Copies of this chain bind each other. A is one copy, B any other.
Amino acid sequence: MTRQISAVPESEISIRHLQSHSLPTLVQQQLENLILDGTLVPGNKLAEIALADRLGVSRGPVREAFRGLAAKGLVRVEKNRGVYVRTITPEEADEIYEVRLALENLIVRKLAASPVAFDDSGMDGLLATAARFAEKGDFANCHRCNMEFHDRLAAATGNRTLVDSYRRLVNELSLFRHQAHVKVRDASSLKASVADHRAILAAVRKGEGALASRLIQRHIEASRKRLQKLLGDQEG
């Protein structure tokens, strides 16, 4: 009589979780979140000891996390001087937008090419939620939904490399926004974004790649120009 050895019930995920999450990984994720949500602003210094104490770990894991973040382009390491949240110049932001546009183009064309395989469950709901936030004037949450929309499109391609490349660019642009202290102030641009998203989604669903490509191009360009304009306004 064999006992049910291979039960391993509900905690399997938790085990996998612990297996891959060492202290350096955890610290890195934590810092990444703080940077991407704007708590840690570009230019800020990340002090080893202070961070280690705050997180309750020693400096080793913190230093390892720094290396990972540096390779991801989120921080800049200056030898014997310290680690700083990466700053991005307006020119760099333009360059990032240029690459992002190429990837977004690939994304929508890929999805439009196989609209059946495109699992868009929840996309309508997401857009509806974004629209509600826009109506209520909840800019931050609407912006979050809009970013989520783009991310889901990328993820739907099933191309891991594409998603990774795309996310890196979006992360860098988030960095730039926080650095410029850009706060979305008017609802009109948010509503326009949601409308753009609806049109893009519709084109993708109908398999009209060329149309989707044109729409996303206009959409990203608008975003780029808006950001550069806001930046110019606050400088001038």
Q: A residues bordering B, Cβ < 8 Å? A: 19-22, 24-25, 28, 60, 63-73, 78-80, 92, 95-96, 98-99, 102-103, 105-106, 110, 159-162, 164-165, 168-169, 172
**Interchain CA distance A103-B68 in the complex, whole Å:** 25
> Is the pair A21, B79 in contact by a Cβ cutoff of 8 Å?
yes
**Are B60 and A67 in contact (CB-based, < 8 A)?**
no
* Nearest B residue (CB) for A65: B67
For the complex, what is the distance from the CA of A66 to the CA of B96, rounded to whole Å?
A: 27
Copies of this chain, tallied across the complex: 2
Q: Please state if A160 and B92 are interface contacts (CB–CB under 8 Å).
A: yes
A93 to chain B, nearest CB (A): 9
Q: Which B residues are in CB contact (< 8 Å) with A71?
A: 67-72
Query: Separation in Å of the A78 CB from the closest CB of chain B?
Result: 7
A79 contacts which of B20, B64, B72 (Cβ < 8 Å)?
B20
Of the A-B pairs whose beta carbons lie under 8 Å apart in the complex, a sample of 29, sorted by A's number, is: A19-B78, A19-B79, A19-B80, A22-B79, A24-B67, A28-B67, A60-B60, A63-B64, A64-B64, A67-B67, A67-B68, A67-B71, A68-B71, A69-B71, A71-B71, A92-B160, A95-B159, A95-B160, A95-B161, A95-B162, A96-B161, A98-B161, A98-B162, A99-B159, A99-B165, A102-B102, A102-B103, A161-B169, A165-B165
A98 with B67, Cβ < 8 A, contacts A20-B78, A22-B79, A78-B20 known: no
Shortest C-beta distance, A61 to chain B (Å), equals 10
From residue A212, how far is it (CB to closest CB) to chain B in Å?
15
